[in-house]
Copies of this chain bind each other. A is one copy, B any other.
Amino acid sequence: MKIAVDAMGGDFAPQNVIGGVKMALVAYPAITRLFLVGDEARVKAEVQSQRLPSAKLEIVHAPEVVEMGESAAKAVRRKKHSSINVATDLVKSGDAEAVVSAGHTGAAVTAATLKLRNLPGVERAGIASPLPNEHGVCNLIDAGANLDRRPIQLLQYGIMGSVYARHVGGVKNPRVGLMSVGTEDDKGTDFTKEVFALLKASHLNFIGNIEGHDLFESPVDVVVCDGFVGNVVLKSCEATAKAMFKWLKHEIKSTPIRTLGALLSKGAFKAVKNRSSYEAYGGSPLLGTNGVCIIAHGSSSALAMKNALRVAAESIQHRVNPHIEEEIARSLAAP
């Protein structure tokens, strides 16, 4: 298994990227070749400093980096030798089977879309973002790869999300829900009602409209929405969790007794933080492009990067893309 990693992507690159690679090489022996793409001198120094075994590594020089504030489309077109472009090129050329990046999400999506193209029949690729819930993980798709919205795109998100939940998540018959403003069948906008009809007519295990609380409480495996809604929901959920912890910390620190109490129950806070953290999930697959592309969180730790590499390896191993191709063809052939 050959994976290209954007060594310069993320707030703590290349340090955390290399740290994650080190852990992944030990944990996932199926990874036989790992391309570290970025500024050669900096990557080499980090590899040496963290003492990575060199057998499976190959450093590929890329002198440019797409910065977080840049326009994705412009940066991908102009910075030909940026780490995300060079890493994606390795997938295009067949040298690697997957690309992993914690850098500029828009740039990673644009590079993958332009260079790898979509799988046959796929209108738009979508990011499937894992959200922990009471029953395991719910995949929110699209989390912001595509700001267009046509009903068929959301049907295809449902199909691709299902394939991913089944083959990587190990869910037998993934339940697909449609994000809406009420659970009754007739709730929603004209747009979501059209999507509802498509999902209902499909071969998917469609459970109908879902609302915010279903994200965490219902046994739903795939939640479909357009990229604008998905991105806003995801960031709002993340922000709420962060605010809750911050406010709790502030309140706890306001008296010595509360501080003592919190010390005793520290393990509980840690457990919930771990459970709700993206670290454990590591990466969100961009589903629909002809080559595996995993988007990691910008502030990824080494552990998060390790898990993003796991997601890449599992996507290759379980042949997510061939399965998507098959299911999309089946859906397009349906009467």
Could you list which residues of chain A lie within 8 angstroms of chain B, going by C-beta atoms?
A: 69, 71, 133-134, 144, 147, 179-181, 184, 186, 188-189, 192, 211-217, 225, 227-229, 231-245, 247-248, 251-252, 254-255, 257-269, 271-272, 275-276
Known contacts A147-B181, A232-B233: A248-B264 contact under CB 8 Å? no
A193 to B26, CA, bound (A): 47
Known contacts A147-B188, A237-B237: A251-B268 contact under CB 8 Å? yes
**Within 8 Å CB of A134, what residues of B?**
243
Q: How many copies does the complex hold?
A: 2
A231 nearest CB across to chain B (Å): 4
Dominant SS among interface residues on chain A:
helix
| Residue on B nearest A140 in the bound complex, by CB | B236
Out of B69, B181, B213, which one reaches A238, CB within 8 Å? Answer: B213
| Residue on B nearest A271 in the bound complex, by CB | B251
- B189 to A212, Cβ gap below 8 A? no
A212 to B192, CA, bound (A): 22
- A262 to B254, Cβ gap below 8 A? no
A188 to B234, CA, bound (A): 15
